Structure 1
Amino acid sequence: MVVAALAVTAAPSPANAAAVAEPSPAAPSQPRPKLPPTTVSATPDGGTRITGVLPANRAAKAADYPAAMGDYRADRDRAMVDDARQEALRRAAESGNDSFWDAAAKDGPGILRERFTPPSSPESSFIEDCHQQSAAGSDTGFVKNRIEWCISAQAFDLWLDSSGKRTGYMIMDYDLFGYGRDDGIRSIVVYARPTLVLFGESYTPLTTVAMRIGCDGRSEAGCFGGGVHRATMAEWKIRSLNSDLWFGWEIASDETVSSRADQASYHWFDEDFLFIDGRSEELGDFGIRCDSATYFSARAQACVFNDVVPHLQYSIKDADGNYTNQREVAEHIRQAQDNPNSTDPPKPDGDKNIPGKYTGRFDLNYLSRIDPNSQNYRDNTAAKNAACAPLTPDPAIERPQCDEYPFASTRQGAAHPLFDFSVKYISGSQNQSAGALLMQYYRDDRILFDDDAFYVEIRDQAGGPVSGAPIVRVLPEVHGDEGEAIPLLASASGADLSVNWTAEPVAGVDAGATCWFSKETIQAPTITCNDDGEFRATVTVSDGIHDPVQASSRVIVRNVAPTVRITNPRDWDLFRVGAPIIFDAPITDPGTNDTHDCQYWRDAGGGWDDGFFTAANNCGQVISYDHAGMYTTDVVATDDDGGQGGGDPVMIVVYDPLEGQANIDGSTATPSGALVANPTITDWTWLHYAGAYQRLGGTIPSGASKAWVGNTAFRLEASAMEWLVITEDGKVASRGTGAVNGQTGYTWVLYGWDACTGSNRPGCQNISQDQARLVVWRTATGQIVYDHLPGSNEFDVDRIEPKTMTSGAVQIQRWPR
């Protein structure tokens, strides 16, 4: 037997050195980042490459690798529930794995052993069990019990040239076997071995690929360990032919960072396959829970697999057909679960609801263990005793004791304010035998106080099937946003079940609203609706023998406000006065059945325009301006359910080449921070500008512009003008390019406000003195080098706060029309 790369094994010999995985970190570290996956990509010669990793069941059914990988990634990478424990419960519910503990069996696939320590390599009996289970090829793998886990998978890398001819390939089937432990160490061990290796062309015997095991980035803090195992294709091939050549890793958990009771931590690990060029693809995630619960005494630290629904089995007969020592308890529990209204104490007002029945899937009627020293336990016992007091045991019962279900050691016991319970006199030896096995189950299946959800299954005979028609339960109500994938969950018992989901509107739903499922034929799909309102999602379950059964979830879908943004024109776009301007403002709304009204806001003295209806998911408009100016425009979209959203406003420039000419000559104070290179300078800033369009209506202004700051080297020399705006109310704005201190590559904007002096009315500003502002920035980067308003993000001539000129003036000469 050859095993390496584990802390629990001896060092490998030189002949076996290829089995060594790269070292694991010695202390907790940050989880490694996920690498972006790519199933189909281009090769250097213009061909196609298809890479991926699939669980064996998906690989066996994959007629199209890229499509299969897309489906797997979508299922694997969907959003997690925020609370790690709830996420673990959800995954257990979806996995189909059943960790069971058969009280009537002396050995069997559900039995946990005393103080389990991982073996030095996978045990042959477990390997055989795993290969016989279809669940071993599922997304979560096969959890034999909470200590033993396995999965089979396939990695592939196919290279095709531009004509479709294969130029390289690698296909590897492999197994991962995992072992938890309850021997006082918080870790698991994972072993790996290829079972089939095929390769050729660009994949040669010396080509190296690798497997990597590590903590998933979404794990709770404290997960560490794992590593990388690299080998050539020849070495992988040798391992596939020798069933003894295993290698492995250890994933551990640091109890000191857990804030949960019993220092419990929920972790996820995954396996990455690293291909010929280092590209990786992930298999997983797989869940474990580690704890340091002291009430397990010698087994105070442990890690178990939690992608599983734990349950206890009591049987009326053992595998040989003899009545078990728990028969009377089993019969009492069956009566309480299947016919609760026939049990004591009677319920005067309505039907009894007694939880804990195992149905094959997770539901909300589970049991949870409590501390036997707690007040809850004492309350359960007192409530049970009060219910037993009026009852008289059958004289034929030997040493009668009053049995209760749910158990006093569960939160759902007799004192629970919502659930009901049952009491019944049975023989003392049967009661004590079942009670002792319950305590053993808690220990062997690692059931924590107030943490684990578990169930109780009653069987006619140990190892026999569950009889009766299917039972289905669903979440009574789910909530989400329109356009969002909302998780559903059906819990169904029975064998060979078919599942089908349907949806229908109930209330507050507009015409045209529809819902669809991620997959109608699974027990835990998602539902997505294209409008808000109340819907009903109904699941129909059939075993092909009994009548189909149904259950429905109420689906409450909330409205999501639309978003709208002007994408055209953009800030600083330039238009001639009177020219049509096409505004493009697409609407984004996850509620694709919504209709929308649009409304524009313009700073051109009009405020909010009258709204208008659009059926095109776009608030587009065509408008024009009669006068030159800088115009800031915004838009909002309102859906038919009242949700409203708006985007970022845009500022456009409208020029009139026939308006006139402008001069700005003089000085202003230099505000602190205006000159970025010398922010403390307080000398004067001097401005000189003269600009106009050709009298016959040119499209580019001409003139001269310069600026400088006294007692500094700063000097702006304009090299070109781009546009000139003269507004009706005496404002000037002009932009161009130039050089600063002799270096080209700068853009400038100069503003001026012309104060009313009497002769220039009415086209002037009602201010006491003329005002100006200069902004200069590096054209390539947008980095400001000078601004009269340091830190301002406002550049609309109507919305700025220019500085008072200390000398000179702003002069506008309007040309006659």
Structure 2
Amino acid sequence: MIADWVDEGVEPTAGEFWEDLGACSGQPPTDPPCTAYEWSMFAPYYVGEQVAWDGHMWEAKDSRGQEPGVHAAWKDLGVCSGEPPLSAKRGQTRSAAALPDMPNVPPKASGMFDRMTPAKCAERANLAGRPQGWLMNRFSWCQMGKLDAYYSSGKCLGNTTPCIPEPAEYYKADVMPIGYTFNGVEGRDQPKGDTARDIVVEAFVYNQSTYGNMPPGNKLTLGMDIGNKTRCEHVTSRGGQTVQNHRTALISSWIIDGWATFRFRCPHGKASTKRIIEWLDGANGVKEYVANDELVSFTSIKPYANFPDWPVKALGISRHTKYITGTDKWLVGNIIRCDSAVESDYKAGGCVFYKTNPAVHWKPLVTNKAGTKTWDIIQAYQHYWNACLDPDAQTWPDNPAKDIAGCDIPPSRDTGYLHREKEKQAGSNQDATYVKCSRMWPGYPSSGDYPKQCDEYPFASTRQRTLAPDGTSHFYGEWSFCPIRANDNEKAGLYLKRYYHSDRVLYSDKFRNRFASPPSGDPVPARAQLCGTPSVAN
């Protein structure tokens, strides 16, 4: 068919936009294949020589060799398709550009957090390519970087005048380390000596290419550096086998098998006796030096590479260590925290990637064993929603200028973080809540058609609910109290405790509250309908 005028996106059918020119057979024409060798910035070219680059074939008009399509040294011969062939004459080799499959992905962390895979990391290349990499969650991390090494003899190519330098030989590759931490014994091979405070890094070297005959016969060392060696260490033996924190092999071997595994550990016996905690309040921070009851240790990991037998005259990377992203050894890519918290549900220990911003995601709908979705903790959910979205008008005590911490409701509602308190203090906070509610709603536990408990937000287990000596909040903001169904309140408390365990949220750790959707009820019940009107408003 032929178009009467250009109208992008209109399907060709006889009518207003297209004229039918009759039937045809066969396949539409395709672009010719890229038959010339791929252009290289390090190779000399002669007048008339052809290369493939950026989906086009090119012919050299002079010997300068600048990038085709950017400089006028090349004549465009038209579009081509497919992967250009490798030049055996120039010693070109190339490994698969596709990311490898990963057979040893650990089970979901805490039974709920998905694990990183090469494909998932590549989907977030813009984040994974940063010096700190990408933290998918508290238990999975990845980083994407590049390796490159060059060598030039400095000699002239033949007897050319003026001198055309011999082409530089090179090795180039993409590198993707993927890190895993664990919560308790899940996913750990205990018979081989693994512990919950282990860190495992799977490193993939892919999309490798060489130019010249020298690089494949030289060695590449890829390894992982660990920080805080006083508290943490490389695992040197596993299941009776020696384990190293690096792999050294010929580049030709890396091209065939570009995979390496590294293991680290932060033993609880090496933890310090004291640690620093920080309470954040907006832009302000309060630091405390406390007993390290949870046996916390911090460390960092950072991938590096070197070429131990590369020629001394090499350009770019030499025999010296180079870090995969960022050349500064002390530019720490990520922080890992391991602990063996003393509370009963943490005794197995575990580690997390610490620089994530954890959040508890509240969901009013749950799926039961039969697959049916039912409303759950709905009154607690409605209370938290009102406290976060409209605290000055829809919460008690009454305050027309109230603001409450820990809420994250995009795009406009962000009131910072909550910080976890110690269990003993959480119990004292619950007692204070009972006294407050009993004064505001006398006899509330037995009022109405079902037993009630007084729900508070921020939660009793957070520092934002803890009273300072003068009776006010430790941090900015205030509270909301609401008598709700006892069953809803107890379940919400269990969910919150489960969240602390699954994300390894320790004393002083910050977190936010997020909501899957507005709660049921249109509109959401007002405070008087949900909580009842108190006898004493404050």
Answer yes or no: same fold by TM over 0.5.
Answer: yes
**Structure 1 CA distance for aligned equivalents of residues 481 and 124 of structure 2:** 39
Q: Where does residue 213 of structure 1 map in the other structure?
A: 224
**Structure 2 CA distance for aligned equivalents of residues 313 and 331 of structure 1:** 14
Cα deviation for residue 384 of structure 1 reads 5.0
Map residues 218-237 of structure 1 onto 2, 5 A cutoff: 219=228, 221-225=230-234, 227-237=245-255
Secondary structure of the 2:419 match is coil
**Structure 2 CA distance for aligned equivalents of residues 115 and 322 of structure 1:** 18
1:286 paired residue among 317, 330, 334: 334
Relative to structure 1, is the Cα distance of residues 359 and 188 closer, same or farther in structure 2, using a 3 angstrom cutoff? farther
Which amino acid is the alignment partner of residue 174 of structure 2? Answer: D
Q: Normalization by structure 2: what TM-score?
A: 0.56
| Mapped pair 1:327 → 2:413 | no
Secondary structure of the 1:138 match is coil
- Are the equivalent residues in 2 in contact too, given 1:269–1:287 (CA < 8 A)? yes
**Structure 2 CA distance for aligned equivalents of residues 443 and 330 of structure 1:** 20
| Mapped pair 1:420 → 2:478 | yes
1:440 paired residue among 494, 498, 520: 498
Which amino acid is the alignment partner of residue 204 of structure 1? Answer: P
**Structure 2 CA distance for aligned equivalents of residues 366 and 312 of structure 1:** 11
- Are the equivalent residues in 2 in contact too, given 1:110–1:144 (CA < 8 A)? no
**Structure 2 CA distance for aligned equivalents of residues 167 and 178 of structure 1:** 35
Q: Normalization by structure 1: what TM-score?
A: 0.38
**Structure 1 CA distance for aligned equivalents of residues 166 and 378 of structure 2:** 67
**Structure 2 CA distance for aligned equivalents of residues 174 and 167 of structure 1:** 22
Larger Rg: 1
Secondary structure of the 2:361 match is strand
**Structure 1 CA distance for aligned equivalents of residues 474 and 423 of structure 2:** 19
Q: Where does residue 390 of structure 2 map in the other structure?
A: 339
Secondary structure of the 2:300 match is strand
- Greater Cα offset, 379-388 or 177-186: 379-388
Map residues 643-792 of structure 1 onto 2, 5 A cutoff: none
> What residue ranges of structure 1 are gaps of 5+ in the alignment?
1-63, 65-108, 117-121, 463-817
Determine what percentage of the aligned residue pairs are the same residue: 22
**Structure 2 CA distance for aligned equivalents of residues 329 and 164 of structure 1:** 75
Map residues 774-813 of structure 1 onto 2, 5 A cutoff: none
* Deviation sequence 1:404-458 (CA, Å, 0-9, x none): 11110111116334431101122222222211111111111111122x1111111
Q: Where does residue 149 of structure 2 map in the other structure?
A: 157
Q: Where does residue 405 of structure 2 map in the other structure?
A: 355
Relative to structure 1, is the Cα distance of residues 355 and 323 closer, same or farther in structure 2, using a 3 angstrom cutoff? farther
**Structure 1 CA distance for aligned equivalents of residues 247 and 392 of structure 2:** 59
**Structure 1 CA distance for aligned equivalents of residues 449 and 356 of structure 2:** 39
Task: Specify which structure has the higher proportion of strand.
Answer: 1
RMSD: 3.7
- Are the equivalent residues in 2 in contact too, given 1:312–1:456 (CA < 8 A)? yes
Q: Where does residue 178 of structure 1 map in the other structure?
A: 179
**Structure 1 CA distance for aligned equivalents of residues 153 and 518 of structure 2:** 60
Cα deviation for residue 257 of structure 1 reads 4.3
Cα deviation for residue 229 of structure 1 reads 1.1
Secondary structure of the 1:173 match is strand
Secondary structure of the 2:217 match is coil
1:411 paired residue among 452, 463, 478: 463
Number of corresponding residues:
341
**Structure 2 CA distance for aligned equivalents of residues 328 and 132 of structure 1:** 39
- Are the equivalent residues in 2 in contact too, given 1:176–1:190 (CA < 8 A)? yes
**Structure 1 CA distance for aligned equivalents of residues 297 and 271 of structure 2:** 9
Q: Where does residue 138 of structure 1 map in the other structure?
A: 130
Q: Where does residue 302 of structure 2 map in the other structure?
A: 270
Secondary structure of the 2:424 match is coil
Relative to structure 1, is the Cα distance of residues 111 and 317 closer, same or farther in structure 2, using a 3 angstrom cutoff? farther
1:368 paired residue among 419, 438, 457: 419
Secondary structure of the 1:457 match is strand
| Mapped pair 1:457 → 2:514 | yes
Relative to structure 1, is the Cα distance of residues 323 and 114 closer, same or farther in structure 2, using a 3 angstrom cutoff? closer
Relative to structure 1, is the Cα distance of residues 397 and 201 closer, same or farther in structure 2, using a 3 angstrom cutoff? farther
Q: Where does residue 381 of structure 1 map in the other structure?
A: 431
Map residues 62-73 of structure 1 onto 2, 5 A cutoff: none
**Structure 2 CA distance for aligned equivalents of residues 420 and 239 of structure 1:** 58
- Are the equivalent residues in 2 in contact too, given 1:223–1:254 (CA < 8 A)? no
**Structure 2 CA distance for aligned equivalents of residues 364 and 164 of structure 1:** 62
**Structure 2 CA distance for aligned equivalents of residues 461 and 131 of structure 1:** 33
- Are the equivalent residues in 1 in contact too, given 2:429–2:461 (CA < 8 A)? no
**Structure 2 CA distance for aligned equivalents of residues 323 and 136 of structure 1:** 38
**Structure 1 CA distance for aligned equivalents of residues 269 and 404 of structure 2:** 36
Q: Where does residue 204 of structure 2 map in the other structure?
A: 193
Q: Where does residue 3 of structure 1 map in the other structure?
A: none
Secondary structure of the 2:264 match is strand
**Structure 2 CA distance for aligned equivalents of residues 424 and 213 of structure 1:** 52
Which amino acid is the alignment partner of residue 109 of structure 2? Answer: L
| Mapped pair 1:307 → 2:358 | no
* Deviation sequence 1:588-636 (CA, Å, 0-9, x none): xxxxxxxxxxxxxxxxxxxxxxxxxxxxxxxxxxxxxxxxxxxxxxxxx
Relative to structure 1, is the Cα distance of residues 324 and 148 closer, same or farther in structure 2, using a 3 angstrom cutoff? farther
Secondary structure of the 2:495 match is helix
Secondary structure of the 1:442 match is helix
**Structure 2 CA distance for aligned equivalents of residues 127 and 397 of structure 1:** 54
Which amino acid is the alignment partner of residue 153 of structure 1? Answer: G
Cα deviation for residue 152 of structure 1 reads 2.4
- Are the equivalent residues in 1 in contact too, given 2:458–2:465 (CA < 8 A)? yes
**Structure 1 CA distance for aligned equivalents of residues 459 and 271 of structure 2:** 33
* Deviation sequence 1:155-214 (CA, Å, 0-9, x none): 122445766764111111122121112335322111112122111226432210111212
**Structure 1 CA distance for aligned equivalents of residues 214 and 268 of structure 2:** 40
**Structure 2 CA distance for aligned equivalents of residues 220 and 337 of structure 1:** 43
Secondary structure of the 1:294 match is coil
Q: Where does residue 279 of structure 2 map in the other structure?
A: none
Secondary structure of the 1:342 match is helix
| Mapped pair 1:112 → 2:109 | yes
- Are the equivalent residues in 2 in contact too, given 1:317–1:461 (CA < 8 A)? no
2:488 paired residue among 430, 437, 448: 430
**Structure 2 CA distance for aligned equivalents of residues 461 and 156 of structure 1:** 51
Cα deviation for residue 321 of structure 1 reads 10
